[in-house]
Amino acid sequence: MKITLLPYGDPGAAKPFAALASALQAGGYEAGVAVPVGSDPYPAHSGTGRTLMTRRVWTLPRLKKGGLEKEGAGDGYGNLPEVCADSNLIIADLRVIESALAVSDELNSKLIAVALTPPCPVSRGAAVVSDALKKLSFLFGAVGKREAGYVWPLTCKAVQDKLILRNIPVLHAYSACFLQRPGEWGGAAGRIVTGEWTTVAGTSDFICSSKSCEDTGQWLDEGEVPLYFGFRGLPLQAQAHCIGTALDAARESSSRSVIEADWEALGRLGRELPGYALPVEEADYDRLFPRCRSVVHRGSAAAAHASLRAGIPALVCPASAEEGLWGRLTVTTGAGSCIPINKVTQKKLTQALKVLEHKRVKNKAAELGIGLRQENGIETAISFIDRYLSWTQYRKF
């Protein structure tokens, strides 16, 4: 049975699909990840493993004023019909669901949508604005039919209505600890929160790569439990500024620190790294975070899940809207705090690190970690897929 997975075009969004496809293959399905041209679904290790998959390449749809452009057979959405040909099931990220719906109709294939982010609480003012604009379907983040004060990110009301009307199931690939209330979106299927899609943690020997220390594990064992600062992916000059601020904050709190950043950014720092700091270029969060006291990260879904899985508090310093979403969710859980990256100063960072040391925050992170470690998102998703493919042989889902 053939299953084609369609993630969004950025590497971070493709990793959960790669993990699910690997498990589906192990379960006997013919599964493959199709990615937009120029993207890479197998980026450097960051907690989800380096699983190589059968790669099917497609191109993003071209849009025009009237909607999806389609001049000929499949011209409007690249070679997606060819990629998905003979697929019994298409599993698509909500951000490419319009293309997936068109191809599913053309090929008469079954379809499952995937939400990688939960509904997020917003301020009262933002809720009022979102509610006023909910009829404008082109605005991302419209409230739609959800209660005021909660928004569904990265999609629009028109997409929600299509999924509800056609009763297409939606798998929510994130931990239930980030969802404060059951989802109403997508009918009964909208409540399927599987947990994060990731490979088995701790199965590799890889912790992190470092040019300054041959044995990272030995450095971690040598002294006090360190802090973690992750700034990789920011512009180099911004990384250098954040690294300097993090080093000053760590010195003030007398803490050792692991700093994940690009080597070029470290070169722009303009000073030698002190002995209490270990620079790394990439890290396995599931192996590194349990050996840290608390973490400071930019707000990726992988880092947000890994910090709670390790049962330690987190400070999120987002640089984009989606990273800010995970920052607000981390604050909502009570297991951390959030400071936008452009507002990070030594004083604010030092104060935020002190907040992470509070007993209330630590206990909450540890409590959530117990529940998150019991989740198996891949197993739950595959169990539903097995049932869905069987059910749809007899009746409409």
Least confident of 101-105, 142-146, 293-297, 322-326: 142-146
* pLDDT band with cut points at 50, 70 and 90 for residue 392: low
Looking from the CA of 212 toward its CB, the CA atoms found within 13 Å total 16
Q: Which residues contact 309 (CB under 8 A, 6 or more apart)?
A: 201, 286, 289, 369, 372, 373
Query: pTM for this structure?
Result: 0.78
Least confident of 278-282, 336-340, 360-364: 278-282
Average pLDDT for the chain: 76
User: Residue 63 pLDDT more than 50?
Assistant: no
Q: Report the pLDDT averaged over residues 329-341.
A: 92
Per DSSP, helices labelled H in 253-374 are 263-267, 285-288, 301-309, 321-333, 346-356, 359-373
Q: What is the CA radius of gyration of the chain?
A: 22
Packing angle, helices 359-373 and 346-356, rounded to 10: 70
Residue found under tokens 């009301």: 157
Can you give the pLDDT at residue 258? 93
Can you give the pLDDT at residue 54? 41
Can you give the pLDDT at residue 67? 34
Can you give the pLDDT at residue 182? 46
Q: Each residue of 23-52: b (16+ CB within 10 Å) or e?
A: bbbeeebebbbbbbeebebbbebbbbbebe
What is d(CA 330, CA 346) in angstroms, rounded to the nearest whole number? Answer: 21
User: Residue 35 pLDDT more than 50?
Assistant: yes
* pLDDT band with cut points at 50, 70 and 90 for residue 314: very high
Which amino acid appears at position 237 of this protein?
Q
Q: What distance, in Å, lies between the first and last C-alpha atoms of the chain?
A: 19
Contact, 352 vs 337, CB < 8 A?
A: yes
* pLDDT band with cut points at 50, 70 and 90 for residue 77: low
Least confident of 105-109, 130-134, 208-212, 255-259: 130-134
Can you give the pLDDT at residue 310? 95
Least confident of 23-27, 108-112, 142-146, 166-170: 142-146
What sign has the CA pseudo-torsion 143, 145, 148, 150? negative
Q: Report the pLDDT averaged over residues 63-73.
A: 36
Contact, 65 vs 34, CB < 8 A?
A: no
Tell me the percentage of the chain whose pLDDT exceeds 70.
69
Which amino acid appears at position 54 of this protein?
T
What is d(CA 172, CA 114) in angstroms, rounded to the nearest whole number? Answer: 6
Tell me the percentage of the chain whose pLDDT exceeds 90.
35
Can you give the pLDDT at residue 244? 93
For 333, list phi and psi in degrees, rounded to 5.
Answer: -70, -20
Least confident of 44-53, 58-67, 247-256, 316-325: 44-53
